[in-house]
Amino acid sequence: MRTDTGQIVHLADYRPTDFVLERVDLTFELDPTATRVEARLIFHRREGVDAGLPLILDGDELALSELRLDQIDLKPEQFDVSPEQLTIRDLPESQPFEITVVTIINPEANTQLMGLYRTNGIYCTQCEAEGFRRITYFPDRPDVLAPYTITIVADKASNPLLLSNGNFLGGGNYDEGRHFAAWFDPFPKPSYLFALVAGDLGVVEDSFTTLSGRDVTLKILVEHGKEPRAAYAMDALKRSMKWDEERFGREYDLDIFMIVAVSDFNMGAMENKGLNVFNDKYVLADPETATDQDYANIEAIIAHEYFHNWTGNRITCRDWFQLCLKEGLTVYRDHEFSADMRSRAVKRIAEVRHLKAEQFPEDAGPLAHPVRPTTYREINNFYTTTVYEKGSEVTRMIATLLGRDLFKKGMDLYFERHDGDAATVEDFVKCFEEAGGRDLSQFSRWYHQAGTPMVTASSAYDTAEKTFTLSLEQTVPATPGQPVKEPMHIPLSFALILDNGSIAEPTAVTGGEITGEVLHLTERKQTFTFSGVASRPVLSLNRSFSAPINLDLSQPSADLAHIARHDSDLFARWQAITHLALPNLMQAARDVGEGKPIDCDPAFVEALLEAADDDNLEPAFRAQVLALPSEADIARELGGKNDPDAIHAARQAIIAIIAIIADKGAAVFQRLFDTLRIDGPFAPSAEDAGKRALRNSALSYLSYADGGIQRAADAFSAADNMTDMIQALTVLAHRFPGKSETANALGAFLKRFETNPLVLDKWFSIQATIPGPGALARVKALMEDPHFVATNPNRVRSLIGAFAFSNPTGFNRADGEGYRFLAKQILAIDPRNPQLAARILTSMRSWRSLEPVRADHARAALAEIERTSELSTDVRDIVERMLKA
């Protein structure tokens, strides 16, 4: 582990390298504990650079074995070396020169899964962001681009496959049972996109013919025996390739595209040029073991990594501050892909739910940072929901501001102008300013100002004048390092809905710019006046969630019910039902707290059941409507101090309200449960998934009636796919913990899937998220279970991560035991895998808004971590930011 060096990187300090890297030639002689890496690097001094300046290369835990300049060994006085740096002096003034660096590395000992490591007997690499420097000394930064030639030598019997980026050059047998393969990647790339995979894997092969008629070989590599489970991923890949051609005119550029699935991986997947490496969770699926959500995730992540080939690889980032340039944009692209493959409205609802549950809390706590930060201490800690998801929302807003055609024009310009570049956010925005003929300087504050803007809205209708006025006020909260904010350019999609459901078409508008259905809020305070509105309209605002803001607009429940029935934007209909639900749930939470009986506004229950029962609406949408705001959503809305006892009350309130809905809607739910059964073979289609979601939703309401536990137990036994099985098991475990039916189901599930790690992860997660203070003891016991594997990131996330992130009532015990437990786990994980430890620690990112007693416990647990001397940079950075702000 590299302990913290405390160095902070500033965007303002950016300057290009002194030396230009022309070519990279790497030879790997693979060995589990002593792999020899020979790097031949051709450099020339950049024009105008002082002749005396040395070449400085990055390293991380490296040991130098040989070092040559133009094939001649360097004398000790010509260089300085440490595990973190190699400095070479006395270099030729103008001619290109060749540096040969030989390092010996130990893949088997690499537990942090950065650089070259071993997983289940195969060799694999992860180089983003700064993993390449764990392989050889190198100018390891994204603005150093070169073509790579790779030669891999390894024992043939144990490593029949030798893979790297680019096109296959050739291979053959070598001495002592070894063989070799050579690869050439002609597209200049930064080191973070390098990949090597070697071992014995099963191959699923297919092909794709591009727009211009080139044949591309497609391969997905998985553990032997798992080949059938890669079929869906292959299908998703081909659809992604086609979609990027049709939607963005982007064609694939090499002869081959490969995806390797590995079971030990820190993140979801990695877009290495021509050789993506995936967490196998996002590749492997079959009906028996994968849920509909798993299928949707696979489709999205396969697309995401594939789309990086253009947004990330062909055009990369100048420096890591520009991370959102590739990540925000690529998330936007994968969101659009999924919207086209599935239901756009349902996809949007899921995106917004995720954004509010993950990004809004990050933006409201001590880890808040701009989409384009200006400083960092550990770049691994900036692969955040703000960079990814808020970054995507910012891209979406550019598309909203420009409209579909001009946005496309801007993207075309970006690809044309910056292909082969290491670009910046400013370069990107400029393309849209030019293509759209619009000044985006105020808009760009979305990249630079952290915090979720709050927009307060109020409206009035003047019957005599036939005018409708809308007053808006925006504030952007203070965030760490940014006490004062400037007003943002906020695009708000809106509609004025009339009594009959039609949309008003005002004769004139004053007070600000409106383009199409979008109102531009650019001032701190702004009042729009619409004339020629014949009768009092109902305002539907921030439709499709056109801006990632908090909206404070109180509307009568009759208005919300009107939107829920009539808005042509399905997202807005869902949003209205959510806004109808929230005050009821919050009132119920308060009533529970005071021991009063629970009641519920009939207008809300009616609107909800009406949507659920409406067969003209797609089932997936109706399932989203039935999924009420979670206890965490309510806790956020309760505002002020986050009191987990209030969360507990909120949970009781949700249960009470669901029981009321379940009772009133018993006939509806019974009908849905009976009629939505799908006959015929399982298909992971969006349509069937929607039916399953709605039917399972009906089941969970039905489980509130008498005999609910038996219904759930029956559904569990009857399930013939993982979606239905997990749903029934979750109802049993979360609603009826400790009952024999639940224990039996958990036992049967374990027995059946004992040898399937991805399914076992689900078994751990379901139990880790059983609400209530008993959760901690359960989690501790599960850590002792022989199936718990502390070295596998997926398993650690499925137990410890699920507990800390997704069990608000269990984790936030009043006695602080949850926090102390987490601190202990972080300290245990950190020496082995700092990235994983730091990520799980961010589960405490909202600790400051806890009520005082818990906040004290949380602070003490964090301070305990901070006091530890041997912390990784990753964990130290997170813990210090959390304690400082």
Among 62, 153, 269, 560, binds ligand TRP (CB under 6 A): 269
Q: Which does 219 bind (CB under 5 to 8 A by kind): Zn ion, ligand TRP, none?
A: none
Q: Binding of ligand TRP at residue 143 (CB under 6 A)?
A: no
**Amino acid present at 360:** F
Three-state DSSP at 142 gives: coil
126 binds, among Zn ion, ligand TRP, none (CB under 5 to 8 A by kind): ligand TRP
Report the alpha-carbon distance of residue 822 to residue 868 in Å, rounded: 14
The yes or no reply on residue 262 touching ligand TRP (CB under 6 A) is no
In the complex, minimum distance from the CB of residue 313 to ligand TRP, in angstroms, rounded to a whole number? 10
Nearer to Zn ion, 290 or 325 (CB): 325
- Helix (H) / strand (E) containing 178: strand 178-189
Which partner from the list ligand TRP, Zn ion, none does 490 bind, CB cut-off 5 to 8 Å by kind?
none
Residue 426 annotated as catalytic: no
CB crowding 806-836: b at 16 or more within 10 Å, else e: bbbbbbbbeebbbbbbbbebbbebbbbbbbb
User: Of 24-32, 201-209, 261-269, 789-797, which part binds ligand TRP (CB under 6 A)?
Assistant: 261-269
Sign of the CA dihedral running 191, 131, 269, 882 = negative
Q: Does 264 bind ligand TRP (CB under 6 A)?
A: no
267, interface contact from Zn ion, ligand TRP, none, CB < 5-8 Å by kind: ligand TRP
Tokens of 839: 């990520």
CB 227 within 8 A of CB 233: no
**55 vs 193 by CB, closer to ligand TRP:** 193
SS3 content of the chain, % helix, strand, coil (to 5): 45, 20, 35
What sign results for the dihedral spanned by CA atoms 545, 551, 553, 556?
positive
* Beta-strand runs (E) in 241-376: 256-262, 269-270, 275-279, 316-317, 375-376
Q: What angle do CA 664, 666, 670 make, to 5 degrees?
A: 155
Minimum Å distance from CB 842 to ligand TRP?
Answer: 14
CB nearer to Zn ion: pick between 311 and 452: 311
- Hey, is 694 helix, strand or coil? helix
Residue 128 contact partner, candidates Zn ion, ligand TRP, none, CB within 5 to 8 A by sort of partner: ligand TRP
Name which of 498 and 836 has its Cβ closer to ligand TRP: 836
Write out the residues near Zn ion by the rule CB under 5 A: 327, 330
Tell me which of ligand TRP, Zn ion, none is bound by residue 383, counting a contact when its beta carbon lies within the kind-specific cut-off of 5 to 8 angstroms.
Answer: ligand TRP
Among 327, 351, 559, 880, binds ligand TRP (CB under 6 A): 327
When the beta carbons of 270 and 657 are compared against ligand TRP, the nearer one is: 270
DSSP strand E in 604-753: where? none
CA 351 to chain CA centroid, Å, is 10
Q: Which residue is nearest to ligand TRP (CB)?
A: 267
In the complex, what is the shortest distance from the CB of residue 696 to ligand TRP, in angstroms, rounded to a whole number? 30
* Residue 385 interface partner, choices ligand TRP, Zn ion, none, CB cut-off 5-8 Å depending on type: none
- Tell me how many residues contact ligand TRP (CB under 6 A): 13
**Could you say whether residue 567 binds ligand TRP (CB under 6 A)?**
no
Q: What residues does 491 pair with on adjacent strands? A: 520
Binding partner selected for residue 129 from ligand TRP, Zn ion, none, CB under the kind-specific 5 to 8 Å limit: ligand TRP
Nearer to Zn ion, 372 or 579 (CB): 372
Residue for token pair 């390298």: 17
In the complex, minimum distance from the CB of residue 188 to ligand TRP, in angstroms, rounded to a whole number = 18
Least distance in angstroms from the C-beta of 267 to Zn ion: 9
Q: Can you tell me which of 122, 270, 570, 800 binds ligand TRP, judged by CB under 6 A?
A: 270
Alpha-helix residue ranges (DSSP H) falling in 342-443: 344-354, 360-363, 385, 391-402, 404-418, 425-436
Identity of the residue, 387 or 518, whose beta carbon is nearer to Zn ion in the bound complex: 387
Tell me which of 112, 119, 125, 126 binds ligand TRP, using CB under 6 A. 126
**Residue 14 structure tokens:** 């950016």
Q: Which residues contact 329 (CB under 8 A, 6 or more apart)?
A: 311, 391, 392, 395, 428
Among 35, 380, 703, 842, binds ligand TRP (CB under 6 A): 380
In angstroms, give the least distance from the CB of 877 to ligand TRP: 14
- Residue 442 contacts residue 489 (beta carbons within 8 Å): yes
| From candidates 383, 415, 461, 682, binder to ligand TRP by CB under 6 A | 383
**Spatial separation of the C-alpha atoms in residues 328 and 133, rounded to whole Å:** 26
Q: Which of 128, 130, 223, 305 is catalytic?
A: 305
Phi, psi of 681 (to 5 degrees): -70, 155
Nearest distance, CB of residue 766 and Zn ion, angstroms? 28
d(CA 480, CA 366): 7
Alpha carbons 435 and 414: distance in angstroms, whole number: 10
Q: What is the Cα–Cα distance from 194 to 185, expressed in whole angstroms?
A: 10
Nearer to Zn ion, 193 or 871 (CB): 193
- 269 or 850: whose CB is closer to ligand TRP? 269
CB of 725 to ligand TRP, least distance (A): 30
Write out the residues near ligand TRP by the rule CB under 6 A. 126, 128-129, 266-267, 269-271, 304-305, 327, 380, 383
Residues carrying an active site annotation: 305
